[in-house]
Structure 1
């Protein structure tokens, strides 16, 4: 990692810094899995030993954010505590346990005698990750980058600068010591930038950076998408729904709704709209209201909902709003098809869930709803790389083309075709006397 973790990179040497990461990434791609795992364990140990240092720095950011009256959702994402720090460390060690995705031979084929084709997995190169608030993203992304053989450029938001610098410094010290002792992962494979000018600059570095991953608000992600020619992976919106079908288990539905909304309301996989079948609404809604309001959730509803429970009216804008807060809109629908139509119109293709005891209905929902995650009888909060067993994630993608959903190691690799011959030329396979390809899988 660069020694310039405090954001004192001048415009004159920023390109050199990114180039050093690209050079280090080329070397990283050739390292055996054991070398990468040694470096990751060194990072995990260093995070454990420096927990107080990191939490003290984070408290400075949280105090400043509260004083500046930043949104509650942002402060929730910004705040670290002992449990969150332990999850960060566990995420690094989970990545160690994952299989190395580099060098996997996906195709091994004889095109003709002595002419052998292979398709091999390889790193993307250098990934730029620009994120708001979330200081825990520093370790997640760095760990996945190292294991997948990619260089990583990290740019955190100004509201998290103390936290990010502290975490980056701890990681840097660990990587430098590990590199000195083992000559494995270069500390230059991960760089931390801290200024807005650097963000704008790297968006133009399409010759040096292979992928940009933005993590933050709708406005933030769309700005990144609109201001770079580098491919962008991510999602701008997290408008998730839970549909309680007419054949749902009411008790189960209430528990799932509460978890999906309140377990961590600032997350992009928390539900923003609750759809309820009319046949079950009068039984379900009073129970859901009591449970949700106990957790401090402000409820908004359509006219039919408000005829059953006493809550404020929802507006048209509410159906497409990502609150990232303890606010939930409720709408009654009369059919599965109406629920799917609502999700299709207002959803963001992130994560959608149904509660029902009818498997045929669940199958239609999970087949017809177009989203990265479609769930049956469980909370939308499971949409997470760590919970999927990916170790961690660099973000969640709502793109139709892969990678889609929580993006872990498999989303950070591509492949190349390697062809080995012995003087073979295409002219021998053309014309009247053309040779035939064998196309034999080996």
Structure 2
């Protein structure tokens, strides 16, 4: 990884050149680089966490002054229990995954001596623009190297000390490997995002990691394909047939395990007949975790006799809001059909859940919801590359093409077609007199 203040054009050209080398390296070369990065970060733990602490001090002051959101401060903290360990484990998990490069996914015999193959290959150069989340550097470096892609990273100023410290360690580690240093670059020059977004000749994919404002800005200001999501407005539909203990556990985990995450619960849709039976114990459990409920009239009335709740009258805007805090919007619906309609029109197509003991309703819900992740009786917090077994992720996509949901190695691959022949020319083939016909014989992989 090179820590560079080069011009955006120079950085992109260097990354493009490095991508051509990286795409030809063996799996062993790429894996050795990940082993070296893991060892380097492990040895530099105290140094990196000290740098992160400096960023946190400034971020907390900015939050106190109203200049930075608390959710951003939370995402910045590398010292959270398990966060550092998860970052390091993700590097080794990615290293140990099957090599995604050069995998043959289709073989067809067009004619004797003329064979077609479809083979997986890297996308090329990735541009990752992120706010806070210093662990993104290690995640992206691991996934990019393993998948044979070059990457340019541009972080927000709130995590400067952290990502400079991490970058120096990764750069030093790569110097001992076959991976060119220019394959992973951290751009330190300020105010260069517009210039980077204009370099569609060199950059093949943009992956934003940050607020919905950042993602929307990027989508509106580049010709480069963008992979990501603007909002994480996740919903749970609570059916009257759901098991009470199950409902309490899943809803509390979805909302309170990590409220600042994009896969945390923001809207709870409650079947009208479940208001007197299931909502009060769910609300009580949420209250013990400090959750404020923004209730519609019917759910508020159902909770009137339940003590120690923090209840606010919901507005229509609350059902379109990603709170990223201990705030939850609660809305009454008649049944799964109305829940499906609400989620498809108000949600962000990220991750949505149905809690029910009715298997038929669950399957209908999961088929009808237009989201990247749809679960039955499981927490929204499972929407994560590590939990899916991807090692780690570059982000979560709500796109309708290429890759959807948590994006790991597979989402960073495309494919090319290879033909091996014996001098054949296309004019020989066709339907007319004297023309040869294609065999189009499928061959085993």
Deviates more, 1:395-404 or 1:406-415: 395-404
**Partner residue in 2 for 1:405:** 405
Measure, in 2, the Cα distance between the counterparts of 1:324 and 1:129: 22
Counterpart pick for 1:76 among 66, 74, 77: 74
Between the aligned partners of 1:258 and 1:138, the Cα distance in structure 2 is 30
Question: By how many angstroms is 1:140 displaced?
Answer: 0.6
List aligned pairs for 1:7-406, cutoff 5 A: 8-9=5-6, 11=7, 14-69=8-63, 70-81=68-79, 83-176=82-175, 178-179=176-177, 184-310=178-304, 311-406=311-406
Indicate the SS of the match to 2:276.
Answer: helix
Task: Return the offset for 1:3.
Answer: 4.3
CA offsets 1:251-278 (integer angstroms, 9 cap, x no match): 1101110000010000111010011111
Rounded to whole Å, the distance in 1 between the matches of 2:429 and 2:27 is 40
Stretches of 4+ aligned residues off by more than 4 angstroms: none
> Contact 1:272–1:328 at 8 Å: present in 2 too?
yes
- Does the 8 Å contact 1:158/1:195 carry over to 2? no
What number of residue pairs does the alignment pair up? Answer: 431
Deviations 1:34-65 (A, max 9, x none): 11111101111111111111111111111101
CA distance in 2: counterparts of 1:3 and 1:316, whole angstroms: 46
Residue by residue over 1:317-343, the C-alpha shift from the partner in whole angstroms, topping out at 9 and shown as x without a partner, is 000000111100111111110111111
SS of the aligned residue for 1:255 comes to helix
Secondary structure at 1:209's aligned position in 2?
coil
Whether the 8 Å CA contact 1:351–1:383 is kept in 2: the answer is yes
Report the Cα distance in structure 1 between the residues aligned to 2:285 and 2:19, rounded to whole angstroms.
50
1:249 deviates by: 0.3
The answer to whether the 8 A contact 1:247-1:356 is kept is yes
Following the alignment from structure 2 to structure 1, what is the Cα–Cα distance between the partners of residues 245 and 191?
Answer: 52
C-alpha contact 1:129 1:214 (8 A) present in aligned 2: yes
State the Cα deviation string for residues 17-43 of structure 1 (Å, max 9, x = none).
221221111111111111111110111
Q: CA RMSD in A?
A: 1.1
Check whether the contact 2:2–2:167 (CA below 8 A) recurs between aligned residues.
Answer: no
Corresponding residue for 2:442?
Answer: 441
SS of residue paired to 2:242: coil
Residue ranges of structure 2 left out of the alignment (5+ in a row): 305-310
Q: TM-score, normalised by structure 1?
A: 0.96
Residue 308 (structure 2) aligns with = none
Q: Provide the rounded CA distance (Å) in 2 between the counterparts of 1:379 and 1:245.
A: 15
Consecutive unaligned residues in structure 1, runs of 5 or more: none
What TM-score, normalized by structure 2, do the two folds share? 0.95
Asked if the contact 1:2/1:17 (under 8 Å) is kept, the reply is no
* 3-state SS in 1 of match to 2:218: helix
Report the CA distance between 1:195 and its aligned residue: 3.6
